[in-house]
């Protein structure tokens, strides 16, 4: 018995769902999965889907939001 012609679509839909779940638990929930590591002024910051976290400080799960505050330390605001 062969595979259905719909099998590749089902496979890729399941793979997309698994990857979506994987990236959705990035910082602040799971700090090892992130998109960007940046070191500015001696502080290392990691960026995920819903938050940014500074290494050495606790990530505040209550402050998770879409978008980042990219203020440069020491710059005039």
Q: Mind listing the pLDDT tens digit for each residue in 34-56?
A: 778 888 778 888 877 777 777 77
Mean pLDDT (the chain) is 76
Residue 49 lies in a domain: yes
- Residue 52 structural domain: 7-63
Query: Closest Cα to residue 27, out of 56, 57, 64?
Result: 64
pLDDT given at position 40: 77
Does an H or E element contain 33, and which?
none
**Measured between alpha carbons, how far is residue 27 from residues 3, 13, 35, 47 in Å?**
39, 24, 9, 7
Q: How many structural domains comprise the chain?
A: 1
**Is residue 2 left, alpha or beta, with left meaning phi > 0 and alpha meaning psi from -120 to 50?**
beta
Residue 77 lies in a domain: no
- pTM score, whole prediction: 0.53
pLDDT given at position 1: 62
**Measured between alpha carbons, how far is residue 25 from residues 22, 48, 51 in Å?**
6, 9, 10
Residue 73 lies in a domain: no
Of residues 10 and 62, the one with the higher pLDDT is 10
């Amino acid at each position: 018995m062969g595979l259905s012609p719909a099998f590749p679509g089902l496979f890729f839909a399941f793979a997309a769902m698994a990857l979506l779940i994987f990236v959705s638990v990035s910082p602040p929930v799971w700090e090892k999965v992130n998109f960007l590591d940046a070191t500015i002024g001696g502080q290392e910051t990691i960026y995920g889907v819903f938050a940014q976290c500074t290494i050495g400080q606790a990530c505040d799960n209550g402050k998770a939001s879409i978008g980042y505050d990219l203020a440069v330390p020491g710059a005039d605001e």
